[in-house]
Amino acid sequence: MIEIINAFARRKNCIIGICDATPLPHRPKHFTPFVSQDIHKRANPSASLQDVKSIIVIGVEPIIPIVDDFPPMPDDAGVLSILGVAKDYHIVVKALLKKLADELQQHTNYKYKILVDSGTLDERALAVRAGLGFIGRSGLVISQKFGSRFNIGLLLTTIPLKPSKQSHTSCQSNCHNCIKACPTGALSATSGIDATRCISYLTQKDNLTPDEAVLIGNHLYGCDICQNVCPHNRPAPTPWVCPKSWLSMNDIDFEKAYSHTAMMWRGTEILRRNARHVARQTHKALPQN
């Protein structure tokens, strides 16, 4: 089984590790607003799949449009995370895990469950347990192959598999690039990440206070600042959009332009709200509706 899994990883250009399904340490301080607040579900794989024995953890690099270069960003532009232009990783990662599950089914009968950004199990903790990488000061899992620029998926199985070796690497002691670069102070060397000040979270939050609206700055969706300055990551383009173009779009236009991306799960109203905040903060007139 291990040979099949490793061959799949090479063939699909992804990273894969295996870990046991014993409960994770209870770490409620690591909860973020979009995940389950149920400690039992968050820490216990058996709450997601009865009789689970092993968890196959996969890491997949985002699929972004092939472009030679992004044009220079104008002053009134709004920034997008790479996930704002990449193919929806929920679809990509789930499809890969389904293919792997089907391959394993050819060799043994077993039960399984696929989880991708489900908000139940702690995916980052399981990725570390499975040897995909280590938790950086950004709070993200950093791998040798992709740095922190990858998405995590879980394949819970009733197959007993030998766990992978865990990584013993860590951030360099003198590197605090992400902490220094974070414009909202969401990262700290002593207390980790404050998700409630993270721009990525704020651009997806249902309701923004006036102070939170200021914190998002010129970000329309997500934030890659901590990843862009991380020495473990390769350089990546900074996608941008003029906010007034979003404000003039109807829902059909939005669907045509962005239905392939993960950001559409938040809905067009939240994206337009962000566009209004960005437009105000860049001192540009809003289009008349």
DSSP string over 200-258:
HHHTT-S---HHHHHHTTTEEE---HHHHT-TTSPP----EE-HHHHHT--HHHHHHHH
In this prediction, residue 67 carries a pLDDT of 54
More reliable by pLDDT, 177 or 285: 177
Least-confidence region, from 30-34, 152-156, 273-277 = 30-34
Task: Give yes or no for residue 207 having a pLDDT over 70.
Answer: yes
Assigned domain for 202 exists? yes
Position 289 confidence tier, pLDDT thresholds 50, 70, 90 = very low
The CA–CA distances, whole Å, from 242 to 96, 262, 278 equal 34, 19, 9
Dihedral sign (CA 197, 198, 199, 202):
negative
Choice between 66 and 21, residue whose per-residue pLDDT is larger? 21
- DSSP state letter for 119: S
153 belongs to a structural domain: yes
Q: CA separation (Å) from 185 to 71, 188, 207?
A: 29, 7, 20
| 244 & 182 share domain | yes
Number of domains the chain is built from: 2
- Does 122 qualify as catalytic in the annotation? no
Do 53 and 191 lie in one domain? The reply is no
Given 117, 194, 251, 253, the catalytic residue: 117
Asked if residue 171 is part of any domain, the answer here is no
The predicted model scores a pTM of: 0.91
Nearest 5°: the CA angle 181, 183, 186 is 90
Shared domain for 118 and 192, answered yes or no, is: no
Across 12-38, average pLDDT? 77
Q: Are residues 202 and 253 in the same domain?
A: yes
Domain match, 143 and 221 both: no
Any domain includes 254: yes
In a domain, 172, yes or no: no
Helix (H) or strand (E) holding 283: none
Say if residue 49 is exposed, middle or buried (CB neighbours under 10 Å; 0-12, 13-18, 19+): buried
| Same-domain status, 6 and 138 | yes
Do residue 152 and residue 196 come from a single domain?
no
What percent of the chain is predicted at pLDDT more than 70? 91
Only one residue has tokens 């007139």, namely: 285
For 46-73, write each residue's pLDDT tens digit.
Answer: 999 999 999 999 999 998 876 555 678 8
Residue with tokens 């903790």: 125
Based on the fold, state whether residues 46 and 100 are members of the same structural domain: yes
Structural domain boundaries, residue 244 = 177-281
Contacts of 203 (CB under 8 A, 6+ apart): 216, 219, 220, 221, 222, 223, 270, 274
Mean pLDDT of the chain: 90
Q: pLDDT (tens digit, 9 = 90+) per residue, 87-104?
A: 999 999 999 999 999 999
Q: What is the mean pLDDT of residues 156-183?
A: 95
Q: Does 76 map to a domain?
A: no
* Sole residue written with tokens 């951030």: 171
Residue 186 confidence class, pLDDT cut points 50, 70, 90: very high
How is residue 213 written in tokens? 């609206």
Q: Which of 34-38, 121-125, 190-194 has the highest mean pLDDT?
A: 121-125
Q: From CA 125, how far away is CA 55, in angstroms rounded? A: 12
**Distance from C-alpha of 227 to C-alpha of 221, rounded to nearest angstrom:** 15
- Amino acid 288: pLDDT: 44
Q: Is residue 11 classed as helix, strand or coil in its secondary structure?
A: helix
- Residue at 289 is within a domain: no
Domain boundary among 106, 129, 157: 157
> What are the tens digits of pLDDT across the range 107-120?
999 999 999 998 78
| Residue 136 and residue 267 share a domain | no
Percent of the chain with pLDDT over 90: 78
